[in-house]
């Protein structure tokens, strides 16, 4: 059992939920079975040691108290992009919004395609805002996909209109 994982859990369990601490350790690359063993060890009271007012890492070499921030670091962009949850949210949201919009457009309900498109983009952005503190990889995946789904059609239309203007062709035909 990794004593660093046990220490991390003991230091942060009063501040963050079990799920948040476990997710942070999983994102850092620790084994799920090791994390569960560490939770068991961290929750077992150790009566042989008297509680100290500050953790040992809070004392500097000269005996001065050093203030540390014990909150877990938020995942960096690199770690977020390597998680399966990011890619599941990104690809799932992109596929869902494209299928809904294109499907409604090809069914002859172009009037429903644009509102559904705008609602899916808005829903993705709102959901990412609500999930940002709870599940950052999913929130970043949703926000990235919503922005890409919204921006790419406008870029394509701008290029198409520009080509039509340059070549002298009518935009609609």
Quick: pLDDT tens for 107-152. Answer: 766 566 677 778 888 888 899 899 888 888 889 998 999 888 888 8
- pTM (2 d.p.): 0.49
| pLDDT, mean of residues 61-77 | 56
Q: With 80 as the cut, is the pLDDT of residue 75 above it? A: no
**With contact defined as beta carbons under 8 Å apart, do 117 and 102 qualify?**
no
Q: With DSSP H G I counted as helix, E B as strand and the rest as coil, what are the percentages for the chain, rounded to 5?
A: 70, 0, 30
Q: Which residues does residue 59 pair with via DSSP β-bridges, in sequence order? A: 65
Percentage of the residues of the chain whose pLDDT score is greater than 90: 4
**With contact defined as beta carbons under 8 Å apart, do 141 and 89 qualify?**
yes
pLDDT of residue 91: 92
| pLDDT, mean of residues 97-110 | 73
């Amino acid at each position: 059992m990794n004593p660093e994982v046990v220490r991390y859990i003991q230091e942060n369990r009063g501040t963050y939920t079990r799920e948040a601490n476990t997710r942070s350790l999983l994102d850092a690359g620790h084994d799920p079975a090791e994390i569960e063993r560490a939770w068991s060890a961290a929750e077992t009271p150790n009566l042989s040691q008297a509680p100290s007012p500050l953790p040992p890492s809070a004392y500097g070499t000269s005996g001065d108290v050093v203030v540390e921030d014990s909150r877990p670091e938020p995942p960096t962009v690199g770690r977020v992009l390597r998680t399966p949850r990011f890619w599941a949210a990104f690809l799932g949201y992109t596929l869902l919004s494209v299928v809904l919009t294109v499907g409604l457009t090809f069914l002859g309900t172009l009037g429903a395609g644009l509102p559904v498109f705008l609602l899916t983009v808005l829903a993705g952005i709102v959901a990412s805002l609500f999930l940002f503190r709870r599940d950052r990889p999913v929130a970043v995946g949703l926000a990235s996909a919503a922005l890409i789904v919204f921006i790419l059609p406008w870029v394509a239309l701008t290029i198409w209109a520009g080509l039509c203007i340059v070549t002298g062709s009518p935009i609609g035909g």
